[in-house]
Structure 1
């Protein structure tokens, strides 16, 4: 029987309360929201937890999707406790950032989507985690609160390695901020062994056009190495060019800029093939959405 080691339980009533608990209890304290990743790891004794801090009561404070158009640059703000189901069902996200709808429809199963949160997904920092590829492609920034106040980090700064992030022992991820640029859209593609499974490879793409020419593009890949991977080579290759099937074919350079390993999910060669193919598909789909919105 898989049983976690002994631990003490605390229930936070606010973000500030959670920060104080983490600061007082030290690095052996862990936060739990949905628990879809943490609890199995505790049962397998892969994680040593002395104190478990439940933040489910913080959903009222951190469970939201807001479109902020009062700043110089429009921003979508997503609270870290926003659950997968809420991301999937949110009308603003589906209209402005359809990549979330693409990804959430293939993440896990209904019980996980009802409990799991975007903050928990990002903080787990699993190299195969789908929302990491989504947020990387969208050039998101993460808001982290600790005893010294708030700070923001880019997705590149957020991930320090497999299962390691910039969130310190006494800090909490509170918000994900995504800038909105005109004439753009996004898409997500994934191949898994079965519905709702971890990705063999997944890919997120965001693209922007002006006058029929691609002015910018970002690609994020997951499950192709020890970290979620951005592919700037693809961005450079397509920028300043008109969309075409020949251009999409050049997205195959994504395979040359990732480092998957062979495992039970597939060979490294197969994963490189998927990295190229899914980048082509997602880029084509995202461009199609921009074009459709402009007609």
Structure 2
């Protein structure tokens, strides 16, 4: 199928985009990379009367140093996040996760912010953003507001970005010197994650000083594996300690059951993948 007819606009500034969004009514869609929007428009599951393409707004792209954090533009392609030296040095978890998104074509066209606003529970970027304590910067008719990652993801394909608003940047604290790993499980290459785990570990001597862990596809939104984090804080840097802590990975989760596996299978996977991610992040 092909999409229904629609009006198309390609503003060159954020102000122009917000103006168009405010005047277009309810039947409008924002186009970032288009990797999610275009397929559903072709199936006519989305049938907007207007599409506003954000691709020409230069201020929404790129990675820059912002003191104790990195500021990543919402229109930055996955490939740039995966290969940017600032991201690799200060938030390696995001680089590792972005490098696993789909295939090279999607990573060059799809955008960091677009994937986060899409909020697919199986998407590979929400859980790392949550684990890293990211802050989402949203522009709207009332000005700019900031939303913590814990409050940003609100349900299946649902976020805190409201009508008439645009996600402009994601601010991510620096974790310089932390170990990081993103471990995902799929049945076939380039499939959505059945379960995945985003892990960051700060090691001091022979101990794990702190760990931050996000779970992908274990509920309608990404989750922090807080029971594992608490068990690891101050624990010895040993395989035995990581194994014991990882057994708690699925606590508080609510995974779906589908053709890829039932809830019990996903909970088992969460423990297995958490152990693997932590071992890699800790350098064991």
- Give the TM-score band, short-chain normalised: over 0.9
Question: In the alignment, which residue of structure 1 is the partner of 2:172?
Answer: 178
Distance 2:136 2:223 in 1: 17
Q: TM-score, normalised by structure 1?
A: 0.91
SS at 2:196's partner residue? strand
CA contact (8 A) 2:225 2:250 kept: no
Query: 66, 72, 76: which is aligned to 1:68?
Result: 66
- Of Structure 1 and Structure 2, the greater helix share is in 1
Question: In the alignment, which residue of structure 1 is the partner of 2:77?
Answer: 83
Distance 1:254 1:48 in 2: 40
Q: Is 1:270 the counterpart of 2:265 in the alignment?
A: yes
Offset at residue 68 of structure 1 (A): 2.4
Distance 1:282 1:117 in 2: 25
Offset at residue 262 of structure 1 (A): 1.9
Question: In the alignment, which residue of structure 1 is the partner of 2:239?
Answer: 245
Offset at residue 183 of structure 1 (A): 4.3
Q: Is 1:46 the counterpart of 2:41 in the alignment?
A: no
SS at 1:178's partner residue? strand
CA contact (8 A) 1:96 1:185 kept: no
Distance 2:262 2:213 in 1: 22
Structure 1's unaligned 5+ residue stretches are 290-295
Distance 2:225 2:22 in 1: 37
1:145-294 alignment runs, 5 A limit: 145-181=139-175, 183-249=177-243, 250-288=245-283
CA contact (8 A) 1:28 1:51 kept: yes
SS at 2:190's partner residue? coil
Question: In the alignment, which residue of structure 2 is the partner of 1:292?
Answer: none
Offset at residue 31 of structure 1 (A): 0.5
Offset at residue 105 of structure 1 (A): 2.5
CA contact (8 A) 1:26 1:169 kept: no
Q: TM-score, normalised by structure 2?
A: 0.94
Offset at residue 174 of structure 1 (A): 0.7
Distance 1:80 1:262 in 2: 32
Query: 77, 101, 115: which is aligned to 1:121?
Result: 115
Question: In the alignment, which residue of structure 2 is the partner of 1:293?
Answer: none
Distance 2:257 2:112 in 1: 28
- Alpha-carbon displacement from aligned partner over 1:191-233 (angstroms, at most 9, x marks no partner): 1122221111111012223343323222111112211112211
CA contact (8 A) 1:255 1:275 kept: yes
Q: CA RMSD in A?
A: 1.6
SS at 1:209's partner residue? strand
CA contact (8 A) 1:107 1:197 kept: no
Structure 2's unaligned 5+ residue stretches are none
Aligned residues: 283
Offset at residue 94 of structure 1 (A): 1.7
Q: Is 1:132 the counterpart of 2:126 in the alignment?
A: yes
Distance 1:182 1:83 in 2: 22
Offset at residue 95 of structure 1 (A): 2.4
Offset at residue 122 of structure 1 (A): 0.2
Question: In the alignment, which residue of structure 2 is the partner of 1:25?
Answer: 24
